[in-house]
Amino acid sequence: MQTYDIAVVGSGVGGSLIASLHKDKKLIVFEKDTNLGGCSGNFKRYGYTFNTGATTLAGYEKNHPLKKILQKAGIRFDLESSEVAIRFQQGEKVIDRGVCFETFMEQIEKNYPHKNNEIFWKKIKKLDEKFWRLKHLHFAKYRFISYMLTLVGLVELFLVFRFSLFQSARSFIKKYLPDISPEYLAFIDSGLLITVQATSKEIPLLSLALGLSYPFHKVYFAKEGMGSLFEELLKGVDVRLSEEVVCITKESDFFLLQTTKQQYKAKKVILNATLYDSAKLFVQKEIKEYYEQFDFHDQSAFTLYMVLKSKEEFLHHYQILLDKEIPNAISKSFFVSFWKQDEGVYSLTISTHTKASFWLNLDKQSYKQEKLKTEEFIKQAFLENFVEIQEEDIVKLFSASSKTFQRYIGRSNCGGSLISLKNLTKMASCKTPFEGLYNIGDTVFAGQGWPGVALGVSVLDKELYM
């Protein structure tokens, strides 16, 4: 039996990025699904290819962790810059988010007039710019040097942001946008749901700034589908598709991994599984108990997939804000990604936020009924907001819930607990208390999206051989 330097369990964003940095090692990547990338990849059905989840990619710019990782790994993505990062549609209101601040402010003032608009958005943008200029951001535990690097990062955070670190998003909004209209607040919250998986009611000011500033950065679209990015990241890597790791046993100086096909030995194991799905992999009681301490983040996505025949031209990304609740969802909005497959043929990925537990606890008959209800509502709302599209233009339509994602990619939720100074001591780091065992992905520092996960990967890269 061969012994690997590193075994990566899961080929999502975190797993693929860290693997790309260690191709010089004896490394192996396991993926349960037939496709790379987890909820960020793509798949084929009915002869068409679909992006599994939302398709925005940011952080591909100078001094950002993602760009630094790709440069270090010698990788260049084939991307198309989206001049309009996301078009927000709220009834008659249309706001195009992009890098040009002045254009954005004109649209904000037109749709949501407020005397403090410019003050509010300039402060938000400035906070974001300060964050991405930080030099020592680090979070890891269980080793003296890790704690020291974390302390240095926290000191830098405080010196840069001072007491704004302790301010909540809602108090900031109340201060600078007093008497904000419900429609304006809905616009802000729908943007946050895309980027930080939460509304302004739940997050600190810094998360508000980072979430709302996402489209001020260049946002890209993968021309050949999101799966092509993972193929590039893992080129030359020993990848085992359709091979699920079912049990991991920690021995004295290595880990024994049992998959659905055979056994492997590895000196280090990096789990790109969620914190909540990791306990079941282990035999040792103490490792199981470590993972069981983390509260399940009960948020997920309901996703509608569509094949559309249309000669119309569309942007890559839209956020549609509704005035009524979506059945079985926790949002009044949905995100639409258009991917042109051929001339006049699009594959669409339409997603909204929901509770994972709702779908997981339904019996078979109820599940089928509720899935159809949500699917039909989103389809009709989509048609109402894209009047140039008729129902007969839809060639194929199907949907996925938390249950679907659990079956194919081994996870039912989206993201992890929100990051704030209040929960810092409870927050999971990439390093675990067990020598050689690490976690990466959107349930550990530094959170969701390509920029957040890339920041976590840059920390893990330092911790691996420190």
pLDDT tens track for 334-368: 999 999 998 999 999 999 999 999 999 999 999 99
Q: Are both 228 and 119 inside the same structural domain?
A: no
In a domain, 366, yes or no: yes
Q: Are both 205 and 106 inside the same structural domain?
A: yes
Q: Which of 178, 198, 221 is the last residue of a domain?
A: 221
For residues 310-316, give the mean pLDDT. Answer: 95
* 3-state DSSP assignment of residue 163: helix
Q: For the chain, how many structural domains are there in total? A: 3
In a domain, 175, yes or no: yes
Q: Which of 221, 241, 261 is the last residue of a domain?
A: 221
* 3-state DSSP assignment of residue 463: helix
pLDDT at 416: 80
pLDDT at 55: 80
pTM summary value: 0.95
pLDDT band at 260 (very low <50, low <70, confident <90, very high): very high
Q: Are both 211 and 343 inside the same structural domain?
A: no
pLDDT band at 37 (very low <50, low <70, confident <90, very high): very high
Percent of the chain having pLDDT more than 90?
A: 89
- Domain interval for residue 272: 3-79+222-295+416-464
Chain segment 207-236, per-residue pLDDT in tens: 999 999 999 999 999 989 999 999 999 999
Chain segment 157-201, per-residue pLDDT in tens: 999 999 999 999 999 999 999 999 999 999 999 999 988 888 999
In a domain, 343, yes or no: yes
Chain segment 140-161, per-residue pLDDT in tens: 999 999 999 999 999 999 999 9
Chain segment 47-77, per-residue pLDDT in tens: 999 999 878 899 898 889 999 999 999 999 9
- What does the block give as tokens for 65? 């962790």
* 3-state DSSP assignment of residue 305: strand
Chain segment 394-453, per-residue pLDDT in tens: 999 999 999 999 999 999 998 887 776 677 777 899 999 999 999 999 999 888 889 999
pLDDT at residue 244 above 90? yes
Residue 391 dihedral angles phi and psi, to the nearest 5°: -60, -35
58-67 in b/e form (b: 16+ CB < 10 A) is bbbeeebbbe
In a domain, 162, yes or no: yes
- Look up residue 295 and give its DSSP letter: P
* 3-state DSSP assignment of residue 283: coil
